[in-house]
Amino acid sequence: MARLASDDIATIRRRLAAGVPLARALDNVAELYFTADMADMQARVRHEVMGAGATIGPLLDEETVTDVIVNGMRVWVDRGGGMEPVEIAEGDENFSSPEAVRLLAVRLAASCGQRLDDASPIVDGTFPSGVRLHAVLPPLAAEGTLISLRTHRAQVISLEELARSGSVARELVPVMEALVRRRANVIISGATGAGKTTFLNAMLSRVPDNERVLIIEESAELAPEHPHVVHLQVRRANVQGAGEVTMSDLVRAAMRMRPDRIVLGECRGAEVRDVLGALNTGHEGGWATVHANSASDVPARLVALGALADMSEATVAAQAAAALDAVIHVARFGSHRMVSEIAVLDRRGGELFATPAFYVRQVGEAGKDAGGVQVQRGPAQVQRGPGAAALLKKLGLPVETGLV
């Protein structure tokens, strides 16, 4: 089937703008000759008229795709093994000129209920499907309009599957299970795309069925296999600047909703004050993620976030050391994602430190381990750090385990 004509696209857009359902909006479209073509036509309309177009739209439908990036007139995709270039689909008018790419970004932002123009040249948004959008317009973006689309996949990988794939060292599975069983408060750290959401989904899926899990996110990414999960989602201000509901607002609301566990999809701002406050007032079994390059960087990250809430370094150190039982760091090496370190937080002289409990040395795709040392390929090796005994004791596990 040939591509939709420009006149047909314009006709369909006018009908959709008038509130006509998609199936009726396709009535009498010149190209629609056979009823058997309806499913393909509706998918095409979704991509070309309502969505991201003939190049980007199909990529977002692929199960393996995690990120789609537009740099001016070029498109890149990450299918789990790193970024690779994408050929522009024949006739895709979204990439016919820099102005067309800009209009694509503006249309995507509008689909998320956000404004993108010269007065507001940077935008973040979330589609109903869970796909996250970030876009920047020139001249802030020197190479042309920049668009980042992050997909959301509903598939949940279990802790056992993560262990079989090498993402979690088998020796650490009892520690992971105990963190959930003993209702520990845990921070998961890692870079973008390191696997924080995948790992957190697996851990939350092990929470007992009789517990109420309340998840707070910017967009609904977490979907653990659990019968009693409640999602709260932030709301950005509309184009008039009204109606914003922040993470901090939702954390405070969550505390009044009888949660057994409070989960923060990502801690990136002043809400750290409310999270630490909740975990220090009897709300056990909480989980949160933060962006950090290593477990040892988490204290500095928490202090920086606390500063946004007018918390002093000493206050953050005191509350974090009292509230958080462990830091789990996940890292990405090529296409392989894994738990690379577990640490415990402690306070010394008013400062917050992360003391390593377990290191995981894993051979990467380039023949290097997690520390960048050239080694032969082989199974993951778990080594104890100085914080191991304290963590094992807190979790009720034998201090003298088989871990090296």
pLDDT at 110: 85
* Distances 351 to 136, 141, 249, 325, 347 between C-alpha atoms, Å: 37, 38, 28, 17, 5
Counted domains in the chain: 2
Kindly state whether residues 188 and 295 are assigned to the same domain.
yes
Any domain includes 195: yes
Q: The tokens of 124 are what?
A: 């973040």
Kindly state whether residues 326 and 183 are assigned to the same domain.
yes
Kindly state whether residues 87 and 195 are assigned to the same domain.
no
pTM over 0.85: no
- Domain's final residue, options 106, 122, 150: 150
Kindly state whether residues 191 and 317 are assigned to the same domain.
yes
Kindly state whether residues 211 and 180 are assigned to the same domain.
yes
Q: What single-letter amino acid sits at 377? A: R
| C-alpha 264 chain-centroid distance | 11
Any domain includes 60: yes
Kindly state whether residues 180 and 280 are assigned to the same domain.
yes
Kindly state whether residues 77 and 198 are assigned to the same domain.
no
- Domain's final residue, options 91, 119, 150: 150
- What CATH number is associated with residue 31? 3.30.450.380
Any domain includes 310: yes
Any domain includes 399: no
Kindly state whether residues 146 and 163 are assigned to the same domain.
no
Q: The tokens of 76 are what?
A: 């890149």
pLDDT at 398: 92
Kindly state whether residues 232 and 135 are assigned to the same domain.
no
Locate all alpha helices (DSSP H) within 26-169, ordered by sequence.
Answer: 38-45, 53-61, 98-111, 159-165
d(CA 273, CA 336): 34
- Asked if residue 120 lies in contact with residue 38, where contact means CB atoms within 8 angstroms, the answer is no
Cis peptide before 139 (omega within 30 of 0): yes
Give me the tens of pLDDT residue by residue for the chain, a chain 404 residues long.
445 566 666 676 566 545 556 566 666 664 544 444 555 554 554 555 456 788 998 998 888 898 999 999 999 999 877 899 999 998 888 999 999 999 999 989 888 878 899 999 999 888 877 788 999 999 999 999 999 999 876 678 999 999 999 999 999 999 999 999 999 999 999 998 899 999 999 999 999 999 999 999 987 789 899 999 999 988 877 767 788 898 899 999 999 999 999 999 888 899 999 889 888 888 899 999 999 999 999 999 999 999 999 999 999 999 999 999 999 999 988 778 899 999 999 999 889 999 999 999 865 455 554 444 443 345 678 999 999 999 999 999 998 765 54
Any domain includes 261: yes
Kindly state whether residues 186 and 168 are assigned to the same domain.
yes
Kindly state whether residues 124 and 209 are assigned to the same domain.
no
Any domain includes 145: yes
d(CA 175, CA 385): 14
- Domain's final residue, options 133, 150, 167: 150
Any domain includes 403: no
pLDDT at 33: 43
- What CATH number is associated with residue 249? 3.40.50.300
pLDDT at 51: 63
Any domain includes 256: yes
Q: Which domain holds residue 34?
A: 6-150
- The owner of tokens 């209920």 is 113
d(CA 338, CA 336): 7
Kindly state whether residues 176 and 53 are assigned to the same domain.
no
